[in-house]
Amino acid sequence: MRAVFGVVSLLVVLALVALLAARQLKTTVSVVALPGAGAASLPGPSTVRDPVQQAGQQVGADVAKALEQGAAARKEEADK
């Protein structure tokens, strides 16, 4: 009985994963150029990379600022 329950639950999970994978594949749509629109109107590969790089730089700056504040707080505690 436990083996049957295990196999049935495995099949249910497999069906759920297959359903989610199929749904995910349906939502990925290739970029289709409109008639009359040139290639210049399509977004270039740097359009995604730029915000990611900016976010990475912002995180790096925030971490550096937090480290400086922590060092200053430790220095103040040591001076007291």
User: How confident is the model over 6-58, as pLDDT tens digits?
Assistant: 999 999 999 999 999 998 888 765 545 555 555 555 555 667 778 888 899 99
Answer yes or no: are the C-beta atoms of 33 and 42 closer than 8 Å.
yes
Instruction: Provide the whole-model pTM.
Output: 0.40
State which H helix or E strand residue 56 sits in. helix 46-79
**Exposure pattern of 30-65 as b/e (b: 16+ CB <10 Å)?**
eeeeeeeeeeeeeeeeeeeeeeeeeeeeeeeeeeee
pLDDT at residue 47 in the model: 72
Answer yes or no: are the C-beta atoms of 49 and 60 closer than 8 Å.
no
Which three-class secondary structure state does DSSP give residue 18? helix
